Amino acid sequence: MVFLNPFPRKGVLLLVIASMQVRGEDMRRRKHMKVITVADKEQPLLLDCGMMLPEIQAAYETYGKLSPARDNVVLVVHALTGDSHPAAHDRDDEIGWWEPLVGPGCPIDTNIFYVICSNVLGGCQGTTGPASINPDTGHPYGACFPQITIRDMVRVQKRLLDKLGIERLVLVIGGSMGGMQALEWAVTYPDMMDGAAVIAAPGHTTPQAIAYNVVGRRAVMLDPAWQEGNYYGSQGPAEGLAIARALGMITYQSDASMTEKFGRKRRNDQFEIENYLDYQGGSLVKRFDANAYLYLLKALDLHDVSRGYASYQAALRRVKARVLVIGVSSDILYPPYQQQQLVKELKAAGVRAEYSEIESCHGHDGFLIDFPVLRPMVDRFIRSILPTPALLTRHSLFRPADLAYLGARLVTEI
């Protein structure tokens, strides 16, 4: 096993979760999602842990039109439980998790850019992960899936781009775990992009963030329904995953945001904050694989761009792209001092880096809620890295009336 041993005794916290039948390799598919093989027995992927993955499928979605020169590509990378669907493809499509940023007339303008977003390695939304079939056994990998890192995710994305014939990126952008990937891209493939936007993410994960993840993993592993990771075909560890998600949701917010939203209001003999955490836990159980959650949390813990290099500075000196780093003022998961320190270290390494901060009471979730603040930051940075000025004024598919709805909904997609 690649995970820490669970707590010696099970806690008393119980959540009532509706039963869910685990549905095999991925949890849902969309009509615009494509799947491509990026590794096979002839070209397996060597992981940071030293193990090989003999077969990897990558799920991805694209927006806009690729230019004849193939020089207008933006790679959007998602956070922990996100997927390849940052925005709707048309008015009849499901709303995405970064709708106000991606689309016609948005900062990442699909009238100008060809946008690619893929589900990460280890996920459960179409890309190979623990729920995928192990070709050596004919059964789901489960806990036999090798441990992965953020860098491994980036290597899979690079293979995807190679398959698509993409040799250059205008921008790599993401928030939270997506921000870690964006930074890893800039370090691992420094000659491939003009810019990288690292939002609400550090250069390496600190002990407090690791501590949250340790408790989340143990909650899942203490659930008897986890069955050492071999629960496929049964309900799975619904209670444990729901508790882990509840903990995560606490770290994504702040005292001010919780006080504003919930106060001490009660409903159904519970405080509203309890109802909220129950709902968020149950919602994740319906759409996410518990083993994938475990592996991705561990990948967050292992995040350190200096891994494999002589030093942190040696890793950052590899970066050639311009880098925008954005923090959220009330973030308790990856506090803004971490982004400020990253910019300081990048500049010391000779990188053209800049810092912006989202003033927000919403905590880590600010990068999924405070779009009126985030949009101009991203727009300005994109304009600054383009070789020629671009007019980002075309009509957008985003419906302004959806903004309040998005603010409530998108926080469930981290």
Q: Give pLDDT tens digits for 168-198.
A: 999 999 999 999 999 999 999 999 999 999 9
278 is in an annotated binding site: no
241 pLDDT higher than 50: yes
Give catalytic status of residue 90 as yes or no: no
Q: How confident is the model at residue 390 (pLDDT cuts 50, 70, 90)?
A: very low
Question: Which of these is catalytic: 26, 331, 356, 362?
Answer: 331
Q: How many CB atoms lie within 10 A of CB 190?
A: 15
Superfamily holding 34-205+304-385: Alpha/Beta hydrolase fold, catalytic domain (3.40.50.1820)
pLDDT at res. 29: 65
Instruction: Identify the pLDDT of residue 142.
Output: 98
User: For the residues 223-238, what does the mean pLDDT come to?
Assistant: 97
Q: Which fold has domain 206-302?
A: Rna Polymerase Sigma Factor; Chain: A (1.10.1740)
pLDDT at 11 over 90: no
φ, ψ dihedrals at 336, nearest 5°: -60, -25
Q: What is the pLDDT of residues 356-379, one digit of tens each?
A: 999 999 999 999 999 999 999 999
pLDDT reading at 325 higher than 70? yes
Nearest CA to 289 out of 234, 241, 239, 223 is that of 241
245 annotated ligand binder: yes
- pLDDT by residue (tens digit) across 287-320? 999 999 999 999 999 999 999 999 999 999 999 9
Which structure tokens are listed for 282? 């149950």
Given the residues 176, 254, 330, 356, the one annotated as active site: 176
Residue 408 is predicted with a pLDDT of 34
- Whether the CB-CB separation of 107 and 375 falls below 8 Å is answered with yes
Give, in order, the Cα–Cα distances in Å from 359 to each of 79, 180, 248, 369, 378: 21, 21, 21, 12, 15
Averaged confidence pLDDT in the chain: 89
pTM (2 d.p.) = 0.89
- Name the band, by pLDDT with cuts 50, 70 and 90, for residue 389: low
DSSP-derived 3-state class of residue 215? helix
Range 106-114 average pLDDT: 98
**Contact 314/237 with Cβ under 8 angstroms?**
no
Residue 388 confidence (pLDDT): 63
Q: Is 84 a catalytic residue?
A: no
The pLDDT score that the predictor gives to residue 30 is 79
Stretch 69-97: mean pLDDT = 97
Give me the mean pLDDT over the 229-240 stretch. Answer: 96
Cβ-based neighbour number of residue 124 at 10 Å = 30
Return the C-alpha torsion angle 85, 19, 412, 218, nearest 10.
Answer: -110
Q: Check whether 4 has a pLDDT greater than 60.
A: no
Percent of the chain, pLDDT > 90? 86
Give me the mean pLDDT over the 256-261 stretch.
96
The domain locations on the chain are: 34-205+304-385, 206-302
Q: Residue type at 233?
A: G
At residue 38, φ and ψ (nearest 5 deg) are -115, -10
Active site residue 331: yes
User: 142-177 pLDDT, tens per residue?
Assistant: 999 999 999 999 999 999 999 999 999 999 999 999
Catalytic residue, from 85, 89, 303, 364: name it. 364
Q: Across the strands, what pairs with 75?
A: 116, 172
